[in-house]
Amino acid sequence: MKLENNSMKFILFILVLLILPTLSADVISLNSGGSETIVINPDTYIEGFFGCVPLTCSILGYNCGAWTDGCAGTLNCGTCASGYTCTTGVCVAVPVTPPSGGDAEGDTGGETTASTITVIPTEINLDLAINTNKEKVISVKNIGTSAITISVSQTGLTQMVIFGDTSLTLAAGEIKNLNVIFVASNDTGIFTGSINIGSVKIPVSLNIKTKLLLFDSNIVVLNPDYKLSQESDLRTRVTLVPMGDPERLDVTLNYVIKDYSGKIYLTQSETVLVERKTNFRRNFDTGSLPLGKYIVGLELIYSGGVAPSSAHFEIVHKTAADFLSSLMFILIILILIIGILIIALVIRRKRQQEKGVQ
């Protein structure tokens, strides 16, 4: 009997070891710079483990329609403005059919959509030193069947861009280059906005650094295609490069996640000791981010200077591959549990048979 009890205790211990890694918990880690400062990253899932935590429109990334909150309740995420329709919880502009006719050139006189023109590049990420400027060329092609005139503007980049033209007229199939000069003032940091060509927006991120750099920094998104689903971790690689003579120096790393309108969703900071080129990885929780495009930014701050860098990523709906991966993990755990239960039953029956023989 004592041997049987010990066997059951061993099996329960194995079950705990299998199930425990699947639970999220608060993460407590030491500051990577070597100090004794403790960083606590609370996990939203463990906080709601013993009760149902309702979803919100923000968490789902929805801005319209009625949806379940996951706890037998209903969410009302609002309605769309005129000219928009609610598609999978997101307000989407209703396509407008260009009017027939027009002048000899076929000019519609209206704004274009992504189905009318293509632009290259589709996003811009520039490193600039303070009080300098850099020119970029944007290629615009009319893929429609008639001539169009489109306006050129910016959002969030006031006094930081100079356009060669504020409007473009393109015949059907024509390609034109738009010259844009990006200007850095004497303010360092990461600045976001967009270049608007008709209704097509090109996300822009400007990393403005001090002129005399003792350090350089770089942050790279490691998720495939720079896309990840909600509740997945944003995986990045950080590189710190001393530019001058080798010197042991503590630097502060400020991380930020924000969208191209400048809204900040996450900030985080740490101090590291750097004496040579250093590479390491940092993951960020994106559970609260709505669907859309963002940048993850890094500002390396040291005595006498700032070296920022940034990288683009996008939050998208969960794919079939995400669901399949989660399902496979659950199936493996279930198979292991069933296997252990079968072993337990076999051991118990064997013990009962031995007692019967005695």
Which amino acid makes up residue 14? I
pLDDT of residue 81: 66
pLDDT of residue 319: 65
pLDDT of residue 95: 52
The tokens for 243 are 């530019």
Across the strands, what pairs with 271?
252
Q: What is the pLDDT along the chain (358 residues), one digit of tens a residue?
A: 544 555 556 566 665 555 554 444 333 333 333 333 333 344 433 334 345 667 777 666 677 778 776 676 777 777 776 666 777 777 766 654 444 444 333 344 444 555 688 999 999 999 998 889 999 999 999 988 899 999 999 999 988 999 989 999 999 999 999 999 999 988 889 999 999 999 899 999 999 998 777 788 999 999 999 999 888 899 999 999 887 666 678 899 999 999 999 899 999 999 998 888 899 999 999 888 899 999 999 999 988 788 999 999 999 987 666 667 677 878 888 898 998 999 988 888 888 877 766 6
The tokens for 11 are 């099996």
Q: Which CA distances in Å does 38 have to 25, 107, 205?
A: 16, 63, 32
pLDDT of residue 27: 36
SS3 content of the chain, % helix, strand, coil (to 5): 20, 45, 35
Mapped onto helix, strand or coil, the DSSP state of residue 90 is: strand
Angle (CA) 64-69-73 rounded to 5° is 105
Phi and psi torsions of 112, nearest 5°? -100, 165
| Cis check: omega of the bond before 99, within 30 degrees of 0 | no
pLDDT of residue 79: 76
pLDDT of residue 28: 34
Q: Do domains 106-211 and 212-318 have the same CATH topology?
A: yes
pLDDT of residue 185: 84
pLDDT of residue 264: 92
User: In the chain, where are the structural domains located?
Assistant: 2-31+320-357, 56-92, 106-211, 212-318
| CATH number of the domain located at residue range(s) 106-211 in this protein | 2.60.40.10
Q: Does domain 212-318 have CATH number 2.60.40.3880?
A: yes
pLDDT of residue 50: 40
> Among 198, 92, 102, 196, which residue's Cα sits nearest to residue 143?
198
CA pair distance 195, 156, nearest whole angstrom: 9
pLDDT of residue 110: 46
pLDDT of residue 56: 74
pLDDT of residue 37: 35
